[in-house]
Amino acid sequence: MSRPPSLIILLVLLFTASAQAEDEPRKILIADPYIELHSGPGRGYPIFHVVERGREVYIIKRRTDWFQIRTEQGIEGWASREQMIATLEPTGEPLDLQEPARENYMSRRWQGGVMAGDFGGASLVSMFGGYAFSDNLSIELTLNHILGEYSNGYSATLGLMHVFAPEWRLSPYFTLGTGVIYTKPKATLVQTEDRDDQIGYVGGGLQFYLTRRFMLRTEYRNNVIFTSRDDNEEVDEWKYLGFAFFF
């Protein structure tokens, strides 16, 4: 034997698949009687070509639920996700699009989103990002922009969030954390000082699984601002509606 077989096996396991995959787009096999190619990534774009069962095509890219396909003749068009699910890998397995569906969305670790609401009478615009340690417990960073009639402010808080029943479509959660708040009185008021204070909060909310990778959220937090004055300040924070997605 002129060459060691381990080399070939290694070559198969490590090099061929990955190296070839980088060179050319992913190839799939049509399993439906035919798939329709639209001229654009949307249901209304006209169908200008069909590819029959048994043909191999390349996936060039994906945009939302549409896949750009190139046929062996070089014709490019967009196919819907519903039809792509019925296609096969060249090995004969069904094409796995790795959709974040409700069944497996809990396995998604990163989450981000925006919320809007009310912070002690002021308007609130909020952004958050979180990482889940487990199905129930995650750590979350929230950035608030507080826009009031008499003062503006920013806050950044880091907290833990516990989702009681992540498998439910509508699930309550509990949250607890701390951070900093910066308050700046409005320029039109009599001169008062800008303030940096520590803030702590306890709160709860509801998350509602919408579809695919998207969720709606609503949240209440009871904030305690540890001021440098004699009394601490308590502020109710209502986030009426928020939108979150997994990635």
Q: Indicate which single residue of 30, 35, 41, 83 sits in contact with another protein (rule: CB under 8 A).
A: 41
Q: Indicate which single residue of 11, 101, 165, 170 sits in contact with another protein (rule: CB under 8 A).
A: 11
Q: Indicate which single residue of 34, 42, 72, 101 sits in contact with another protein (rule: CB under 8 A).
A: 42
215, 244 Cβ separation under 8 angstroms:
yes
209, 78 Cβ separation under 8 angstroms:
no
Considering only the stretches 66-74, 128-136, 171-179, 193-201, report the one whose residues sit in contact with another protein under the rule CB under 8 A.
Answer: 66-74
75 binding another protein? (CB under 8 A) = no
Distance CA 132, CA 114 (A): 17
Cβ at position 105, least distance to another protein in Å: 15
Q: Indicate which single residue of 54, 73, 188, 190 sits in contact with another protein (rule: CB under 8 A).
A: 188
Distance CA 25, CA 10 (A): 23
CB neighbours of residue 117 within 10 Å: 20
Q: 């952004």: which residue's tokens?
A: 127
Q: 């209304």: which residue's tokens?
A: 44
CB neighbours of residue 148 within 10 Å: 16
Decide whether 125 or 176 has the Cβ nearer to another protein. 125
Q: Indicate which single residue of 32, 50, 55, 62 sits in contact with another protein (rule: CB under 8 A).
A: 62
Q: 């609401």: which residue's tokens?
A: 117
Tokens of 194: 């800008």
> Could you say which residues in the range 146-185 bind another protein, by CB under 8 A?
147, 152
In the chain, % helix, strand, coil (3-state, to 5) comes to 10, 55, 30
Q: Indicate which single residue of 50, 59, 106, 202 sits in contact with another protein (rule: CB under 8 A).
A: 59
Number of residues that bind another protein (CB under 8 A): 60
The site map against another protein for 191-230 (x = CB under 8 A) is: -----------------------x----------------
3 binding another protein? (CB under 8 A) = yes
CB neighbours of residue 183 within 10 Å: 21
Decide whether 97 or 137 has the Cβ nearer to another protein. 97
The site map against another protein for 88-127 (x = CB under 8 A) is: -xxx-----x----------------x-x-----xx-x-x
Count how many Cα atoms sit within 13 Å of the Cα of residue 220 in the half-sphere of its side chain: 4
Distance CA 88, CA 183 (A): 58
Q: Which residues bind another protein (CB under 8 A)?
A: 1-22, 25-26, 39-45, 59-68, 89-91, 97, 114, 116, 122-123, 125, 127, 145, 147, 152, 186-188, 214, 243, 245
